[in-house]
Amino acid sequence: MAAARKSLSAPTGLTRRSKDRDTLAEPISGRVLIAWDWEASGIWWIPVRSGTGRSEDRTENTIRKPPGWSDLLSAELIDALKMWNDSADLLYGPKSDSRDMEMEEARVKFWESGRRLAERVQSELGPQWQVLYQEANGAWTWVHPPFSSI
C-alpha cells in the first residue's frame, strides 16, 4: 500500500532521490517540455524555483531567461525538434481533416516521434534535467519520472 502512495505523490523537491529514501542525490538543473505550437521550436523551458521543484512564482522580482539550447543540445537535435514542431501545421492546421484515416495514422506517428525526441533530449541533457513531452491527449508525461531509478 505504501508503494502505491509513493507512486502517486507529486515531486516536492528539486533533487532526485536515490533508492534510499533519506538520501538525496544531485540537484536538478532544469525542466523542459517537448511540445508543438505554431511557429515554435518544439522545446519549452519550464522555470523552476531553486530548491523547491515547483514552477517559478510570477510575482517574484527575478525573472530568469531560458538557457541557450545550442549550448546544451546538438544542432542535429535542435533541427529535428524544429522540423517535428513544424510538421504539426499539416496535421492540425486549418486545412487538416480530422476524419481522414491517413491523417489519423500520421498523427499517431507524430506523437510517437515527439516521445522519441524527448528521450533524445533527456539523453543529451542528462539525468540532472527533468524532461517531459506532450501526448496526443494533451497530457504531459515524464521521460524519467522524478524519484524513479534511471
150, part of any domain: no
147, part of any domain: no
> What's the domain range around 97?
2-142
- The total number of structural domains in the chain stands at 1
Residue-level pLDDT at 16: 42
Residue-level pLDDT at 110: 97
Measured torsion, CA atoms of residues 74, 76, 79, 83, in degrees rounded to the nearest 10:
-140
Cβ-in-10-Å burial (0-12, 13-18, 19+) of 136 comes to exposed
Task: pLDDT tens for the chain, 150 residues: list them.
Answer: 333 322 222 333 334 444 443 333 456 788 999 999 988 999 999 987 655 455 554 555 455 666 789 999 999 999 999 999 999 988 888 777 767 778 889 999 999 999 999 999 999 999 989 999 999 999 999 998 776 555
Residue-level pLDDT at 49: 64
DSSP states along 11-47: P-SSEEE-SSTT-EEEEP-EEEEE---TT--SEEEE-
Question: Mind listing the pLDDT tens digit for each residue in 33-64?
Answer: 999 998 899 999 998 765 545 555 455 545 56
pTM of the model as a whole: 0.71
149, part of any domain: no
148, part of any domain: no
For residue 8, count other CB atoms closer than 10 A to its CB: 7
